[in-house]
Amino acid sequence: MDSTTLLPPVKEAIEQFPHHFHEDAASYASPLGAAWAPGRVNLIGEHTDYNGGYVLPLAVDRVSAFAGRTRNDQTVRLWSTHFNAYAQFSLAGLPESFEEQREKIPGWARYVLGVATELIKANITLKGFDAVITGDVPLGGGMSSSAALEVASAQAYALFSNHSFSIGEDNATLTPLETAGLCQKAEQNASGLMSGILDQAASCLGQPRKAILLDCRSLEYRYLPFEDPGVSVVVIDTGVRRELASSAYNERRKQCEEATQRIRTLILENEPDNTEARSIKALRDITPEQFEQYKGQLPQILQQRAGYIIAENERVLQVVKLLEAGKIEEAGKILWLGHAGLRDEYEVSCKELDVLVDIARDVPGVLGARMMGGGFGGCTINLVRNEAVDALSQAVERHYQERTGRQASIDICRAAAGPSYVLFEN
> For residue range 350-381, what is the model confidence (pLDDT) as tens digits?
999 999 999 999 999 999 999 998 888 889 99
Q: What does the alpha-carbon distance between residue 383 and residue 333 come to, in Å, rounded to a whole number?
A: 9
Q: Give residues with Cβ within 8 angstroms of 247, minimum separation 6.
A: 348, 374, 375, 376
pLDDT above 80: residue 250: yes
| Residue 395 near residue 355 (C-beta atoms within 8 A) | no
pLDDT above 60: residue 1: no
Q: Could you give the C-alpha distances from 91 to 17, 94, 400, in angstroms and in order?
A: 21, 6, 47
Highest-pLDDT range among 141-155, 239-253, 373-387, 394-408:
394-408
For residue 266, count other CB atoms closer than 10 A to its CB: 17
For residue 299, count other CB atoms closer than 10 A to its CB: 12
Q: What does the alpha-carbon distance between residue 240 and residue 350 come to, in Å, rounded to a whole number?
A: 9
pLDDT, residue 426, reads 63
Percent of the chain surpassing pLDDT 70? 97
CA 177 to chain centre: 14
| Residue 121 near residue 96 (C-beta atoms within 8 A) | no
* Residue pLDDT, tens place only, 13-55: 999 999 999 877 778 988 999 999 999 999 999 999 999 999 9
Q: What does the alpha-carbon distance between residue 309 and residue 179 come to, in Å, rounded to a whole number?
A: 27
Residue ranges and CATH numbers for the domains of the chain are: 3-228+415-423 (3.30.230.10), 232-413 (3.30.70.890)
pLDDT, residue 76, reads 98
Active site residues: 199
The three-class DSSP label of residue 92 is coil
80: nearest Cα among 24, 23, 17: 17
pLDDT, residue 191, reads 87
Q: What is the mean pLDDT of residues 208-221?
A: 95
- Report the chain's terminal Cα–Cα distance, integer Å: 14
pLDDT above 50: residue 281: yes
| Residue 306 near residue 52 (C-beta atoms within 8 A) | no
* Residue pLDDT, tens place only, 82-105: 999 999 999 999 999 999 999 999
The maximal CA–CA distance of the chain, rounded, in angstroms, is 74
| Residue 331 near residue 323 (C-beta atoms within 8 A) | yes
Q: What does the alpha-carbon distance between residue 361 and residue 341 come to, in Å, rounded to a whole number?
A: 16
Q: What is the mean pLDDT of residues 297-323?
A: 98
pLDDT, residue 192, reads 83
| Residue 403 near residue 355 (C-beta atoms within 8 A) | yes
- pLDDT band at residue 143 under the 50/70/90 scheme: confident
